[in-house]
Structures are given as structure tokens and as C-alpha cells.
Amino acid sequence: MLTVGLTHFLVISVVLFSLGMYGVITRKNAIMVLMGIELILNSANINFIAFAKFGNFGLQGQIIALFVIVLAAAEAAIALAIVINIYKNITNINVDEIDSLRD
């Protein structure tokens, strides 16, 4: 049980995903939600690379993880641009108070 195998990496990934999801759900600030999304993407990457190693899939899992990192960078840039625009318009980035589309 103490010898590190595939399940150890998967359990770490599960816990990291849950923590990221907790951040996305509970934090008010939009930037904190973004940090939660980064944690979720990291946990997905750990899964990809762990299965690539222990399933002996060669380098394909690592390349998919590389693509995920690139997508995360693009997503962070776009999301921060949107957040800055929201802040310019209503001087507030709390996700539970941005509800002008609801009216």
C-alpha cells in the first residue's frame, strides 16, 4: 500500500479536482474561480500523464497534457480580459452580484 503506484496518482488527482471544484463553487471573486479552474486542469493533466506511464502508452498522454497546458494559458488570458472589462463597467467582480443580464 505504501509503495507508490497508479492509484496514488489517481487519488491525488481526485483530491485536487475536488479542491478546485470547491474553489469554483464557493469563492465570490471571479479571479478565485479562475484559480479553481487551474487546479481542475492540473488534476486532469496528472491523470493523463499517470495513465500514459502506467498503461505504457508512450508519449501520447504527455502530448495531450501539453495541449491542455496551452489551452489553459489561452483560457486564463481571455478570462482575465473579460474580468477586467466587467470591473471597468460595474466596478465589482463578485460572481454572485453580477446579475444585470437577469433583469
Partner 1 sequence: MTVYDIIFYLFAAVTLISAFFVVTNRNIVHSAFFLLFTFFGVAGIYVMLGADFIAVVQLIVYVGGILILILFGVMLTNKIVNVEIKTGTIHALPASIVLGLFAGAIGAAVLNTNWKVVESPDPVPTTAAIGSMLINEYALIFELLGILLLIALIGAASMARR
d(CA 18, CA 47): 14
Residue (56 or 100) nearer to partner 1, CB: 56
Binding mask 32-61 for partner 1 (x = CB under 8 A): x-xxx-xx--x--xx--xx-xxxxx--x--
Quick one: which of 44, 71, 98, 101 contacts partner 1 (CB under 8 A)? 71
Decide: 66 and 49 in contact? Cβ < 8 Å: no
In the complex, minimum distance from the CB of residue 66 to partner 1, in angstroms, rounded to a whole number? 6
For residue 94, what are the β-bridge partners?
A: 29
